[in-house]
Amino acid sequence: MNSYIKIFHVFIGLFDYFTSKKICNFLKKKLKNQKIVLLDVGAHKGETINLFIKNFLIDRIYSFEANKEVYKILKKKDDHNVFTFNFGVGEEETIKDFNTVIDSQSSTFAEIANDSKYFLIKKKVLQPFSKKEYSYKQSVKIRKLSNFIEEKKLEKIDVLKIDTEGYEFNVLKGIKESDFKKIKFILLEHHYDDMIKKNYKYGDISDLLKLNNFKLAFKSKMYFRKTFEYIFENTK
């Protein structure tokens, strides 16, 4: 089963490379040769850490991953200017069930639609010969991003990246107006498939960011998925 998952992710990763390259090219033009502070929400195994270290001068990276098993891999990225944390990020400080999918990349605090067409196809591809459950729950601590920003006394954030599989809006709602002012760019992923039961729409994200003086500056569809990458730029 693990070989199927590895092959699947290698295949998808080849195409995601082109999306990542477009994102980096856009941000390089904007950030030029600045040393950047990155907040990486939904860090998974450290893919964004690798991408930014390779393409940008780094001041500090703070990475957050809710999945306890995946965090064991992410933690190996800890360095003098890379700091990893095993908790989720949301609109309130609490403990919440984390719906953990065996391929780990689709794990989310949002509810998973187990009977959705996209979920059933993905399960068939990644778990073709097993009768085991494709997803399970684990209890995970959630923190508000603004509380973390206050604790670390962060005065500027060059890039806030959010990839939380249908929980992006919840992450944004945990940011105070005063902290939005510290952020230059917000890079986030938004899903349009039926696998994740979101309690918001893309328009809710867009409206919240407009209220905080952000404009849409970049948009790119990801290959083989009903998913887009967006970059919002602070206009103030």
pTM of the model: 0.87
Residue 111 sits in which domain range?
92-143
pLDDT score recorded for residue 101: 79
Beta bridge partners of 140: 96
Q: Is 155 within a domain?
A: no
138 belongs to a structural domain? yes
Q: What is the pLDDT of residues 21-70, one digit of tens each?
A: 999 999 999 998 899 999 999 999 999 999 999 999 999 999 999 999 99
Q: Count of domains in the chain? A: 1
Domain presence at residue 133: yes
pLDDT bracket for residue 198 (50, 70, 90)? confident
Q: Are 63 and 89 in contact (CB under 8 A)?
A: no
Give 70-115 as a DSSP string.
Answer: HHHHHGGG--SSEEEE-SEEESSSEEEEEEEETTSTT-BSSEE-TT
- 109 within some domain: yes
Q: Is residue 22 part of a domain?
A: no
Q: What does the angle CA 91 – CA 208 – CA 25 come to, to the nearest 5 degrees?
A: 100
Question: Which DSSP letter does residue 224 get?
Answer: T
Does residue 123 lie in a domain region? yes
- Decide if 230 is inside a domain: no
Measured between alpha carbons, how far is 54 from 89 in angstroms, rounded to an integer? 26
Provide the percentage of residues in the chain whose pLDDT is more than 90: 67
Contacts of 13 (CB under 8 A, 6+ apart): none
**Residue at 180 is within a domain:** no
